[in-house]
Amino acid sequence: MENFVEVHGYKNFVYCYDQGSITLVLLSGSGVPFPSLEYKTLAKALAKTYQVIGIEKLGYGRSDLTENNRDIDVVVHEYRSVLQKLGINSPIVLVAHSMGFLEALRWGQQYPFEIAGILGVDPATPDCYREFDVEGATKKLKEMSADVVCRKTTASALVEQFLKEQKISEKEKNEIEDLAFRNLANQNWIS
């Protein structure tokens, strides 16, 4: 199932593969523009045993853009609200890639009774960011955001990669290319 779930006036794109009694929730990394496409193979493989739910956070994939605060507590609240609207009961297992692992850790700190486990997939840990140049990375993202040619070229290359890996119609290709251009280095990523 693929669907939109509205939280606080914004639509999050959600993809679900429903086979098991244990629920896995996929949390994407920050540089994953289309989680529903990039994690599709993983989600389908896991769905042979588990119920798998992926939530594209605002500013990613088919989800809406927002100008609201994007700190980690807001993102965790949005994830929890989407699951509540879907009627998903805890405890759940978070399967978190890269920076999504930091979101999973925060979720576990704030709501430990909701989490049965956290599985990191190439996880970013707090130690990864102790000496990370946040200002430099933010500056580069802002430069990329302002560089229309770079964003268009990168979006096209990303879509071409999806075409090689998955069956995508011409209509979906055009939609994805437009969204990739919109999403790459957007303000949601930057914040």
Residue 59 is predicted with a pLDDT of: 92
Alpha helices in 27-169 (DSSP H): 35-38, 40-46, 72-86, 100-110, 134-146, 148-165
And the tokens for 8?
């606080």
166-184, pLDDT tens digit by residue?
A: 888 888 888 888 888 888 8
- CB-CB contact of 12 with 84 (8 Å): no
8-67, pLDDT tens digit by residue?
A: 999 999 999 987 789 999 999 988 888 998 899 999 999 999 999 999 999 999 999 998
- With a CB cutoff of 8 Å and minimum separation 6, the contacts of 41 are 165
And the tokens for 22?
């244990």
DSSP conformation class of 91:
P
SS3 178: helix
- The yes-or-no verdict on residue 76 having pLDDT over 80 is yes
Phi, psi of 87 (to 5 degrees): 75, 25
85-118, pLDDT tens digit by residue?
A: 999 988 999 999 999 999 999 999 999 999 999 9
